[in-house]
Structure 1
């Protein structure tokens, strides 16, 4: 048996919000991909991380150190961070799609239940 769900706005409004989440996720994912490519290119030259620099000496080993990525695979910290940014965009896309689909299903079920109640009421009055 289903559970009672109270929605204080229209399913269409929630679907629109979900589509907005999906669009923000798509934008984040594209921006992360674009910036990640730029970041990778900037990591290559030695002038970004010059040997003997005080900041580089303390930071760089951790920056390229071993860790796991969002999928639990072995990675380096810098690569895992880049992957996480793209992953956040994908998650927003997935959440938006899920909520929009769930609300469409809810709306159809609610309309069908209303029609069934009306139909049952009509049969009961004869």
Structure 2
């Protein structure tokens, strides 16, 4: 047996919110892509992280191998960059899935209403 769902606003409102989430996720993804490219550019300039008593221990952690979630390891700085870009993509995907789910819900609700109206006729 299915679960009861009660929506206290219109499906259009929810789809609108989902679309805005998706749009903002795309913007965040693009912004983070640009930011991570800039960080990579700066990492390649020795004057940004000059060898000294503070930078050298920092770089050990900065380049430490971490699990990327797929059973592989990558440097921590790369994992952070990928996660920043991935967060925007995840937000975009969430918005798209909510929107699709709401349209599916609306269609199912309309079909059920038709079935109920036709009962007993």
TM-score (norm 2): 0.93
Give the root-mean-square deviation of aligned CA atoms. 1.3
Correspondence 1:1-126 to 2 at 5 A: 1-52=1-52, 54-121=53-120, 123=121
Q: Unmatched 5+ residue regions in structure 2?
A: none
- The question of whether the paired residues in 2 share the 8 Å contact of 1:70 and 1:83 is answered with no
Write the deviation string for residues 6-64 of structure 1: whole angstroms up to 9, x where unpaired.
11111111111111110111011000111111110000111011112x32133111011
Shift of 1:114: 1.0
- Any runs of at least 4 consecutive aligned residues in structure 1 with deviations exceeding 6 A, and if so which? none
Counterparts in 2 of 1:44 and 1:79: CA distance versus 1, 3 Å: same
- Paired residue total: 121
Whose RCO is larger (CA < 8 A, sep 6+)?
A: 2
The SS at the match of 1:101 is helix
Counterpart Cα distance in 1 of 2:54 and 2:25: 34
Q: Unmatched 5+ residue regions in structure 1?
A: none
